[in-house]
Amino acid sequence: MRIALLGPPGAGKGTQAARICQTFHLIHFSSGDILRAEKMFGTSLGRRIRDFIDNGLLVPDDLMIQIMEQRVLAARDGFVLDGYPRTLPQSQALKRILQAADMPLDLVLNFVVDPKVLARRFEGRRICPVCLAVYHVDTMPSKIPGVCDHDSHELIIRQDDMPDVVRKRIETYQESMAPLFAYYAQQGDFKTIDASGSVDDVTRVVLDKIRRHFEAATAS
């Protein structure tokens, strides 16, 4: 299975990608996590992308395509892309790369969330700065408040979850995604998910859509 998740910042792509991967034994590629790790370790790539992330801007396409290409090609047993592609050039490059390797994308799920619900998700999000696990103070709290369940590090607010940067990220998302929706809608295998419900409700809908899609594909 090769699946891509689209949706605005804070829509729950990362949360659901982790559950899809666990259920179907796939590899999770979060472009945001990959970039944040580079930034955290202060690599040369991390230094190049830092200002883009901190200001809610997109990392340039050529760099992003380069970062994702080898990772995706190595995942021959299947993957879930979360946060990639995010622009038309990224989706065209992805298609080219995957087609050449005879491993086309099977399904694109587009998460849609009520803007008021989205705002609450940003406000409550906390992450572990070490293992990058994601929590929410109300909807997905850690067992001990403020402490990561996996490695006991103190949870932090993502730097780009500050209100000004969030506004910029949503604006950037709206500008960059419109051509992408048209592109994937034209190709079929593009499904919209109402992701405004609880984490478990959204998981049920997502897993059901995936199962139905693959059952139908196998039957035809």
Which residues are bridge partners to 107 per DSSP? 3
Catalytic residue among 2, 19, 39, 86: 86
Q: Note if 13 is an active site residue.
A: yes
Both tokens of residue 107?
A: 């399904």
Q: Note if 36 is an active site residue.
A: no
Q: Note if 76 is an active site residue.
A: no
Q: Give me the residue whose beta carbon is nearest to ligand AP5.
A: 32
Residue among 102 and 178 whose Cβ is closer to ligand AP5: 178
Count of C-beta atoms within a 10 Å radius of residue 193: 21
Amino acid found at 195 = A
Query: Shortest approach of ligand AP5 to residue 121 CB, angstroms?
Result: 3
Residue among 183 and 218 whose Cβ is closer to ligand AP5: 183
Host H or E run for residue 188: none
Report yes or no: 173 and 179 within 8 Å, Cβ to Cβ: no
Give the residues lining the site for ligand AP5 (CB under 6 A): 7, 9-15, 31-32, 35, 52-53, 56-59, 64, 83-84, 86, 90, 121, 124-125, 134-136, 139-140, 160, 169, 197-199, 202
Report yes or no: 108 and 210 within 8 Å, Cβ to Cβ: no
Query: Shortest approach of ligand AP5 to residue 40 CB, angstroms?
Result: 13
Residue of 111, 107, 150, 108 whose CA lies nearest to 127: 150
Instruction: Write out the catalytic residue numbers.
Output: 13, 86, 125, 158, 169
